[in-house]
Amino acid sequence: MKPQEFYLQHHGYYSKNLSPNEYNPQKAIELLKQAGINKLSINVWAMPVARIYNPSALKTAELIQADLARIGVKLNIISYDWSVFVQKLSASNYDSVLIGWNADNSDPDNFFTPLLSCAALASNNNRSRWCQKDFEHLLTQAQSVTSQPERKTFYQSAEAIISDQVPMVTLAHAKKVVLKKNNITAMQIRPYGGISFAKAIQTTEEGE
């Protein structure tokens, strides 16, 4: 499941009316041909470090590389030491980059504004370098109201723009796993942020 899909479904904002990205290599070949594009070569930057949302960006890049090779597109994988990687990201001198995001609060805006808003360009958090005025207007409207039905309408309209223009391609949502003793109950795993022990209950095990 894709990150924003998982997150928005959890809060009831996800639009089920949008068509998922189509996997159709033959159609991709035909579209490249129609556009007169051949021997296309692009670069992808892959993080050199493991993250919960992607344990191996290099392996992910290799899988994408193999898929693109099947439609005649050459993908060059580029990686740097982490400190250099972060510095170069700020210059935005890349074709594409494999990176991820962990939501840290329960509001759906925590995906849209930090990753795709025009304002996020200034903070270098918008790695797509995409800025779209209609999308930005919808975010502003959603942020200005407290009515959940109204906000849902705005965010689903924003989703439709993302689906149409595809400023980024989302791959997967990481699974969160927590190990606990049998006598710990009422502890829930959240899809965002850290682990809360606020409602956790510890019972006395037999023999203690």
Same domain membership, residue 131 and residue 87: yes
Q: What is the model's pLDDT at position 1? A: 45
What is the pLDDT at residue 6? Answer: 47
The DSSP 8-state label assigned to residue 65 in this structure reads H
Q: Is 122 exposed, middle or buried (0-12, 13-18, 19+ CB in 10 A)?
A: exposed
SS3 96: strand
Q: Domain check: are 206 and 106 in the same one?
A: no
- Report the C-alpha gap between 127 and 28 in whole angstroms: 24
Best CA proximity match to 131, nearest among 141, 120, 139: 120
Residue type, 106: S
Residues 159 and 187 reside in one and the same domain: no
Q: Within this chain, do residues 129 and 106 fall inside the same structural domain, yes or no? A: yes
The distance in angstroms from the start CA to the end CA of the chain is 42
Return the pLDDT at 176. 74
CATH classification at residue 163 = 3.10.105.10
182 in the same domain as 170: no
Residues 103 and 146 in one domain: yes
Which pLDDT does position 103 carry in this prediction?
77
Domain region containing 185: 176-208
For residues 141 and 205, membership in a common domain is answered with no
Whole-number pLDDT of residue 205 = 62
Asked if 127 and 89 sit in the same domain, the reply is yes
Q: How do the pLDDT tens digits run along the chain, 208 residues long?
A: 455 554 555 457 778 888 878 889 999 999 999 999 999 999 999 999 998 889 999 999 999 999 999 999 999 999 999 999 999 988 888 999 999 888 777 788 888 999 999 999 988 889 999 999 999 999 999 999 999 899 999 999 999 999 999 999 988 877 777 788 888 888 877 766 667 788 888 887 654 5
- Shared domain for 112 and 203, answered yes or no, is no
Whether 52 and 91 share a structural domain: yes
Domain count, the chain: 2
Does 91 lie in the same domain as 190? no
3-state secondary structure of 43: strand
Note whether 139 and 208 are same-domain residues: no
- Whole-number pLDDT of residue 168: 92
Q: What's the pTM?
A: 0.79
Q: How far is CA 150 from the centre of its chain?
A: 24
